[in-house]
A and B are shown apart, each in its own frame.
Chain A
Amino acid sequence: AQSVTQLDSQVPVFEEAPVELRCNYSSSVSVYLFWYVQYPNQGLQLLLKYLSGSTLVKGINGFEAEFNKSQTSFHLRKPSVHISDTAEYFCAVNPKYSGGGADGLTFGKGTHLIIQP
Chain B
Amino acid sequence: GAGVSQSPRYKVAKRGQDVALRCDPISGHVSLFWYQQALGQGPEFLTYFQNEAQLDKSGLPSDRFFAERPEGSVSTLKIQRTQQEDSAVYLCASSLATRAYEQYFGPGTRLTVT
Contacts and interface: CB of A to CB of B under 8 A. Distances in A.
B105 A43 contact: yes
B7 interface: no
A91 B41 CA distance: 12
Interface string A26-67: 000000101010000111111001010000000000000000
B108 A43 contact: yes
Interface residues of B, number: 29
Contacts, number: 67
B70 interface: no
A57 to B, nearest CB: 13
Contact of A43 (B4, B48, B97, B101): B4
Nearest to B33: A104
Nearest to A42: B107
Interface of B: 4, 31, 33, 35, 40-46, 48, 50, 55-56, 59, 91, 93, 95, 97, 100-108
Given A34-B101, A42-B108, A46-B102, 13 more contacts: A36-B105, A43-B4, A43-B107, A43-B108, A44-B105, A46-B104, A90-B42, A101-B55, A101-B100, A102-B50, A102-B56, A102-B95, A104-B45
